[in-house]
Amino acid sequence: MVHPNLVIDALTKGIDGVIMCGCHIGDCHYIDGNKSAEKRANAITLMLEDFGIESERFRLEWISASEAPKFAQVMKDVVDTIKKLGPSPYSQ
């Protein structure tokens, strides 16, 4: 599980972006782990607004271990998005 504080701490200490990946809904070894992650991701997105951080700096993706091409594409997309946004407003 990824606690929202871990994401918020990273982004408020100058990290430019965070991606959280999990199993597809209905396909989680931890039964409801991905549903919990989705709820936490929604909470994180709301918290980002309070900190003045663009929501695009955080992303949740469902990717299985057998989806290497999808994983690579998602990582490329995340990097492209972060580059367009520029450095974190919290970077020093």
pLDDT digits (tens, 9 = 90+) for 33-69: 888 889 999 999 999 999 999 999 999 999 988 999 9
Q: What is the 3-state secondary structure (H, E, C) of 13-68?
A: CCCCCEEEEECCCCCCCCCCHHHHHHHHHHHHHHHHHHCCCCHHHEEEEECCCCCH
Q: Is the whole model's pTM more than 0.85, yes or no?
A: yes
What integer pLDDT is reported at residue 79 of this predicted model?
97
Check pLDDT > 80 for residue 10: yes
